[in-house]
Amino acid sequence: MKKYPVIADFIDKETGEVVKAGDVFEADDDRAEQLKEKQLIGKEVEKQAVKPKGNSATKPEASPAQPSTEKQPDEENKPAGDK
């Protein structure tokens, strides 16, 4: 089944459930055509490309051998009365 964005609230005649604008509705071609004619759903949602997890090319990370340049608060930086 294909997925479509809901653009107006309606009650699904097949399930009796309320479908809200902003939801994504799954329908076969015939049912989708009926709902489009009534201006209840929009155009088919295109499938988004799935990005592989852990791809280092998308997010640069510091090498474990390189020390971080960010300063972290630690006990040495606290005033003497706070220890």
pLDDT tens for each residue of 35-82: 999 999 999 998 765 556 665 555 555 555 555 555 544 545 555 655
Nearest Cα to 5, choosing from 48, 47, 45? 45
Q: Strands (DSSP E) along the chain, which ranges?
A: 2-5, 10-11, 18-19, 24-27
5 to each of 28, 56, 68, 71, how far by Cα in Å?
14, 33, 45, 46
Instruction: Please say if the pLDDT value at position 24 is more than 80.
Output: yes
